[in-house]
Amino acid sequence: MAYEARNFEHLLGIEGLSDKLLKNHFTLYQGYVTNTNKLIDELGKLEKEGKAGTPEYAELRRRFGWEWNGMRLHEYYFGKMTRGGKEIDKNTNLYRKIVKDFGSYENWEKDFKATGMMRGIGWAVLYYDITAGRLLNVWINEHDGGHLSGASPILIMDVFEHAFMIDYGTKRADYIEAFFKAIDWTIDPELDSALFGGK
């Protein structure tokens, strides 16, 4: 079954991110979906031809993580934004967990923004380490490297240049502020309880 690009056009008109920027970003995301499907097909073809041990197969297999993560990270990123944003509910277990792990929501926000301001291209991610029961802000340099094995992404911020240059040039901090105004902190009550209720 092929992956299908999700439609995020409901984000058009979002404050702080122009429609031109978003449409370009959606096109980039759709490219990751297309390339993920192409790689799945090509790898399957090579396997059927008995070429799984070839350098060609190996290089395509290595490339798969880049394309698939590029697809999925963009889905998480766009999926946690909404026009006007939705503030975090201070009665959720997620909010209480942020306060417990970072000392305050403000401390977490300052640290997450600092992570996003690091020089280079990549992603800032709020991860939940289910095993240790703690939240961590993490920098991912490339789509396919730097992820925390077994941890669940809670919030993803794209800080590759394509996410902000059209609107903000090199003013990444202004883009980060616009992103924060668009975050949708809505969390399903069952997920909130299952992930953060007992920790």
| Burial class (CB within 10 angstroms; exposed 0-12, middle 13-18, buried 19+) of 45 | exposed
Q: Are 187 and 94 in contact (CB under 8 A)?
A: yes
Tokens of 171: 């003013």
Tokens of 178: 């616009």
Alpha carbon separation from 116 to 71, 122, 179, 199 (Å, rounded): 20, 8, 11, 27
DSSP 151: P
Interatomic CA distance for residues 91 and 94, integer angstroms: 8
Tokens of 69: 């993560």
Asked whether residue 147 is marked as a ligand-binding residue, the answer is: no
Q: Which of 174, 170, 176 is nearest to 158 (CA)?
A: 176
Asked whether residue 158 is marked as a ligand-binding residue, the answer is: yes
Asked whether residue 174 is marked as a ligand-binding residue, the answer is: no
What are the phi and psi torsion angles at 137 (to 5°)?
-90, 130
Q: Looking up tokens 């079954």, which residue turns up?
A: 1
**Which residues are annotated as part of the binding site for Mn(2+)?**
25, 74, 158, 162
**Which residues are annotated as part of the binding site?**
25, 74, 158, 162
